[in-house]
Amino acid sequence: MTYRYRGHSMSDPAKYRTREEVQKMRDERDAIEHVRELLLQGKHATEDELKAVDKEIKDIVNDAAEFAKESPEPAPEELWTDIYSEEHA
């Protein structure tokens, strides 16, 4: 089980949670941090290896974002490309 730290969308300020609640969840139950600790404790990875993985992921995401910014807008007829729906009887 995981915890959503932010609202459902950009228009959801998530005022239904206190900052203290969110911080407590980050400190005590963060799923990514938990797996990180398991990897370190089990000697499956070193701190340096995990830092290298983080950097690689950030580089991939940044490259993808830059590619998207530099790419032309798709043609309007592409709006419905790869959209699937099942008809229900």
Using alpha carbons, list the distances in angstroms from residue 31 to 1, 58, 84, 88. Answer: 8, 19, 32, 37
E-strand ranges in 1-89 read none
pLDDT of res. 45: 98
pLDDT of res. 83: 85
pLDDT of res. 2: 78
Letter string b/e over residues 20-30, b meaning 16 or more CB atoms within 10 A of that residue's CB: eeeeeeeeeee
19, 5 in Cβ contact below 8 A? no
Length of the chain: 89
Question: In order along the chain (89 residues), what is the average pLDDT of each group of 10 residues?
Answer: 84 91 92 94 98 98 98 92 74
Whether pTM exceeds 0.75: no
